[in-house]
């Protein structure tokens, strides 16, 4: 299987932003993939598999993030993670 790169821009829609529980969900799902996953806010990029790093982005409602995955399952990873964010983390 060949390595691929996928990116997608998403907007935080849930009221409380990317706080502990959503960040936790995000990292949990990210960790299920082989791909390297990063999350970018403005100029800052962090490891999408690290809850601490995600939290330090301080992404509140309305903030735009870019999810980037690189690896064999990049397509699915970006699809699932962006869906999670856009659904407002099922809150």
- Closer by beta carbon to another protein, 45 or else 53: 53
Q: Cα dist. 43→65, 66, 81 in Å?
A: 10, 11, 20
Q: Interface mask (CB under 8 A) for another protein, residues 19-58, using x and -?
A: xxx-xx--xx------------------x-xxxxx-xx-x
Q: Which residues contact 29 (CB under 8 A, 6 or more apart)?
A: 80, 81, 84
The smaller minimum CB distance to another protein, of residues 8 and 14, is found at 14
**51 and 24 in contact (C-beta within 8 Å)?**
yes
In angstroms, give the least distance from the CB of 1 to another protein: 25
Separation of first and last alpha carbons in the chain? 36
Residues that bind another protein (CB under 8 A): 16-17, 19-21, 23-24, 27-28, 47, 49-53, 55-56, 58, 60
């Amino acid at each position: 299987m060949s390595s691929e790169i996928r990116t997608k821009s998403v907007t935080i829609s849930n009221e409380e932003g990317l706080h502990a529980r959503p960040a936790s969900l995000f990292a949990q799902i990210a960790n299920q993939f082989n791909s390297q996953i990063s999350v970018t806010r403005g100029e800052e990029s962090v490891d999408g598999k690290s809850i601490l790093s995600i939290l330090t982005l301080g992404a509140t409602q309305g903030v735009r993030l870019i999810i980037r995955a690189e690896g064999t399952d990049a397509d699915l990873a970006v699809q699932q993670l962006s869906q999670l964010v856009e659904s407002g983390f099922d809150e």
